[in-house]
Amino acid sequence: MSGAVTDGRAAPQDPAPEGRSAHTPRRRTVAVATAATAVLLPLSNGLIGAQSDEGPAFLHGVASGDPLPDGVLLWTRVTPSREAVPGSGKGAPVHVTWEVAEDEQFTTVVARGRAKTRAAADHTVRADVRGLRPDTTYWFRFSTGTVRSPHGRTRTAGAENAAVPNLRFGVVSCSHYESGYFAAYRHLAARTDLHAVLHLGDYIYECGTGEYASAGRIVRKVQPENEAVTLADYRGRHAHHKLDPDLQAMHAAHPVIAMWDDHEFANNAWSGGAANHTSKAGAPHGPAGRGEEEDWAGRVRAAKQAYFEWMPVRPSTEGTTYRRFRFGRLADLHVLDLRSFRDRQPPGFFGRRVRDDPGRTITGRAQLDWLKAGLSGSTARWRLVGTSVMITPLAFDTVPADTLRSLERLLGSSLTLDEWDGYTDDRRELLTHLRDNGIADTVFVAGDMHMAFANDVPLRAAGSSHRAPVATEFVVTSVTSPNLDDISLVPAVEASPRAQTAIRRSNPHVRWLDTDSHGYGVLDVDAERVQMDYFVLSDKTDPDATAEVARSYRTLSGTQRLERADAPVRT
């Protein structure tokens, strides 16, 4: 079938001899250093100004991800010397030691190991640590010589068959650097009640400076300033994001379960190209006058290599991000990759509905079969599906022309056809599978739209208000990326009510939406219900922005419908 990690586990490896200590007689430890082969030219993008005069240093923070019942993936990047700028190919090899402890003071170290990283891996370090206890909070850090990294906090998943009473995830999507500050990450970092943060994609944006900022307003400049095309570019873009203090704080506070969407590669990416890519072969299209770029396959390889170097994510054996996690008997989480295998988006405009086409796929055959089998075989109370783009169908029959023009600027001329709306046969097959097999309590969690939605998911859009939904869906807004009022330049108080009313009139299965806010979600799961609290920021251009709950929706077990919750979950 596929090479995905179907149970959330990476293949066990033999422990490094130096991974033993007096504190670890019954712990197995594994250290893995990332490998790469490219030798690159230095970047001249200002990043060197952020490097230390004397190495080594841990300038990009620490992170953890992909929690398992017995382990977690740890990450850092060490800067060995001033010239070892991310993506430069410079800098000597470095030996790095990592430690995992039961306490913040590291008095009880339960795992320790060593890794060697080189310029070929952009001096990133990944340690896949096993032998830990389920559902336990740990602290971790790295060191080289006498230099220590900041420490981080992480948490393992519940045991596979454990009666896990509760899960709580932070949920984020779409963090365009130049459009604002990452205050949403700061607020999530401050919480101590989260099991993990689910990042639904567009962690970085490939765009050159000024290309994506709403109304031409650049809140802060991204590095490198050119569009990311080469391996050095993508490494530099990831590195610049990880210099952000709020992003560092979130990674240091919680394990992250991440997937990619299009902007980790290029806008509206598909398996053979993207909307803003011009290849030497002459297709697919990009802005006039840009000149030739790398071939698409080469660009994708570069983007994926940088992603797995710089993110605490275990790739599947196929080098993708679709994988599955188990949280006791309470929930399975299926994380999808909807860019690597999809066909090109169909032509269309203004949300025009497209016909089912079995020749056009968003998942690819192997991934869709893997997902259907996982949903059918799940013995958990809840089946959660992390999908980078919204699965709920949308129609725009009654939406005013000026609102449509703003939506077109936001989502592109094809509007929702980059979502599952452009791949109706895959969606029909998946949702029919849920209905025909009596698979209840399935919740999709999505991003990408830069707007927040709470949806009942019908089998088909037509007549959906009179048909039983087959699932529910929570869509979170963007951390910073432009949404409707940013694009329309009309104040939210004027634009939002009219647009939202029109969209809901055409789509009665949309229970609630917010076209204008920025923020994050907190998804709370227990045996009785799944609830999403939608948090909005006071001002994405303010690094000290406050956050408050705008709305809360929940689905009760066995209902497959949403209802408004009386109050947000207690912290």
- pLDDT tens digits for range 501-554: 888 888 899 999 998 899 999 999 999 999 999 999 999 999 999 999 999 999
Q: Which amino acid is at 400?
A: P
Residue found by looking up tokens 């406050």 in the block: 546
DSSP single-letter state for residue 121: G
Mean pLDDT over each residue of the chain, to the nearest integer: 86
The band of 354, judged by pLDDT with boundaries at 50, 70 and 90, is confident
Which range is least confidently modeled, 176-185, 305-314, 391-400? Answer: 391-400
Distance CA 421, CA 412 (A): 14
19 in Cβ contact with 111 (< 8 Å): yes
Which range is least confidently modeled, 48-62, 254-268, 285-299, 376-390? Answer: 285-299
Q: Which whole-number Å values give the CA distances from 191 to 156, 184, 229, 351, 553, in the listed order?
A: 17, 11, 36, 38, 21
Measured in whole angstroms, the distance separating CA 196 from the mean position of its chain's CA atoms is 12
Report, in this order, helix, strand and coil percent for the chain, each rounded to 5: 20, 25, 55
Predicted local distance difference test score (pLDDT) of residue 42 = 31
Answer with the residue of higher pLDDT: 567 or 33. 567
Q: Which whole-number Å values give the CA distances from 25 to 31, 110, 113, 140, in the listed order?
A: 17, 9, 13, 18
The band of 347, judged by pLDDT with boundaries at 50, 70 and 90, is confident
Give the global pTM: 0.88
Predicted local distance difference test score (pLDDT) of residue 411 = 59
Residue found by looking up tokens 């370090």 in the block: 125
Distance CA 305, CA 87 (A): 12
The band of 499, judged by pLDDT with boundaries at 50, 70 and 90, is confident
457 in Cβ contact with 471 (< 8 Å): yes
Q: For the residues 466-490, what does the mean pLDDT come to?
A: 84
Which range is least confidently modeled, 47-51, 174-178, 394-398, 450-454? Answer: 47-51
Distance CA 53, CA 544 (A): 30
Distance CA 159, CA 69 (A): 5
- pLDDT tens digits for range 359-381: 999 999 999 999 999 999 999 99
Q: For the residues 41-61, what does the mean pLDDT come to?
A: 58
Q: Which amino acid is at 560?
A: Q
251 in Cβ contact with 325 (< 8 Å): no
Least Cα distance to 94 among 117, 114, 74, 76 occurs for 117
- pLDDT tens digits for range 455-474: 999 998 655 555 789 999 99
Which of 19-23, 278-282, 387-391 is modeled with the greatest confidence? 387-391
CA dihedral 7, 13, 15, 19 (to 10 degrees): -60
Pairing between β-strand 196-199 and β-strand 256-258 as defined by DSSP bridges? parallel
Q: What angle do CA 553, 555, 556 make, to 5 degrees?
A: 135
Residue found by looking up tokens 């101590």 in the block: 192
Residue found by looking up tokens 């037509």 in the block: 462
**Is cis: bond before 25, omega within 30 of 0?**
no
